[in-house]
Amino acid sequence: MTISRRDLLRLGAGAGLIAAAGNWHPLRAETQTRITTTIPSSGEQLPAVGIGTRDYRSNTNATEMQRFQNTLEAFHKAGGRVIDTSPNYGNAETVIGELVSDLGIRDDVFMATKVDREDPRDGIKRMNRSFELLGREQIDLMQVHNLRGTEAELETMQAWKQEGRFRYVGITTHSPRQYAEMERIMRKHTLDFIQLNYSLADRGAEERLLPLAHDRGIAVLVNLPYARGRLFRAVANKSLPDWASDMDATSWGQIFLKYVISAPAETLPIPGTTKPHHVKDNMGAAFGRLPDASLRKEIEEFVGL
C-alpha cells in the first residue's frame, strides 16, 4: 500500500498505522507501506527517496558504466523515480540519458536537472542541450543551480513551463551563505521546488527555509543528506540503537534519510550513490514508519552532531 508521509507522521508509530494499513506487520513493513512526498503545487506524489548523480561522470570505462547501470536499475526496481542531475556534473547528463534509455525507463522516471547561466541566451542553449542529452521532450523539473542567473533563467523557465516543456521549476543551493537570497526568491517567485542541504549534521534550513517552503507550498529536494559521508563517519563505531526498529530502519543510512523525510516540510532526499548496494539500502528508507518529534530528538542526541 502507499501512505503519504503526512499520514505516517499523524498516525505515529504502532497502533494507528496498523489500523490504517489493515494487515500491516512490522516485519513486512517494507513491502507494504511506501512513503511518498507530495508536491504541494500539483498534489502529485513521489516516492520519498530519490538519487543524486554528481558522480555519474565517465570516461566510457565499461566497468564503471556497468556499475552505474546496475545502480540505476536497482533504484528503479526498488520504486525510485526522482533522479537529480546537472550539466555541471561533468558528462553526467550524457551518462544518465544513455542509461535510462538502455534500461527502458526514460519515461518512467522523474528527471530533475539544472541551469546556471547569467545570460538568458546562454541559458536557453544550455537547457536545450539538457533535453537532447537526457532524450526527453519534457523535463520534469528544471532548477536554477546555486541561484546563478536566477531572474533571467526563471523567466525562460516559467515560459517553458507554460508551454509544457517543464512540469515544475525550482532553485537550488547547498550553502547556508545563500539562504537569505534563497528566502528572498522564495517570497518573490512562484516555485514548485527548492533544493537545499539538510541533514543531522546540517540543520540550518530548519530555522527559516523549511517552514517557509511548507507555508508557501513548495516541495524540497534535499541534497547532501549524508553530509557527503560525514554522518557515516560520526557513527562509525556505534551499533544500531534499539529505537531503529521503531522507525523500521535497518541501517544508519535509513535513519539519516528518515530523519530528513520526517522534517516538517515536503522533503525528498536525493542521496548521491553509484553503488547498487547503497541504492538498495537508501530505498529502504522510503518504506515503513517515520520517527515522530520525540524520536527525532533522540536521534539528534544520539548522533551528537
Q: Between the CA atoms of 18, 283, 137 and 150, what dihedral angle is there, to the nearest 10 degrees?
A: 100
Residue 179 contacts ligand NAP per CB under 6 A: no
- The contact mask relative to ligand NAP for 222-241 (x = CB under 6 A, - = no) is -xxxxxxx--x---------
Segment contacting ligand NAP (CB under 6 A): 118-126, 206-214, 277-285, 297-305?
Answer: 277-285
173 binding ligand NAP? (CB under 6 A): yes
Kindly state whether residue 275 participates in binding ligand NAP, applying the rule CB under 6 A: yes
**In the complex, minimum distance from the CB of residue 9 to ligand NAP, in angstroms, rounded to a whole number:** 23
Among 253, 276, 288, 291, binds ligand NAP (CB under 6 A): 253
Using CB under 6 A as the binding rule, whether residue 149 contacts ligand NAP is answered as: no
Which CB sits closer to ligand NAP, 17 or 141?
141
Q: Is 219 a residue that touches ligand NAP (CB under 6 A)?
A: no
Binding mask 93-112 for ligand NAP (x = CB under 6 A): --------------------
Instruction: Please report whether residue 281 would count as binding ligand NAP according to CB under 6 A.
Output: yes
Cα dihedral 49, 208, 224, 176 in deg (nearest 10): 160
Residues of this chain that interact with ligand NAP (CB under 6 A) are 52-55, 84, 145-146, 172-174, 195, 223-229, 232, 253, 270-275, 278, 281-282
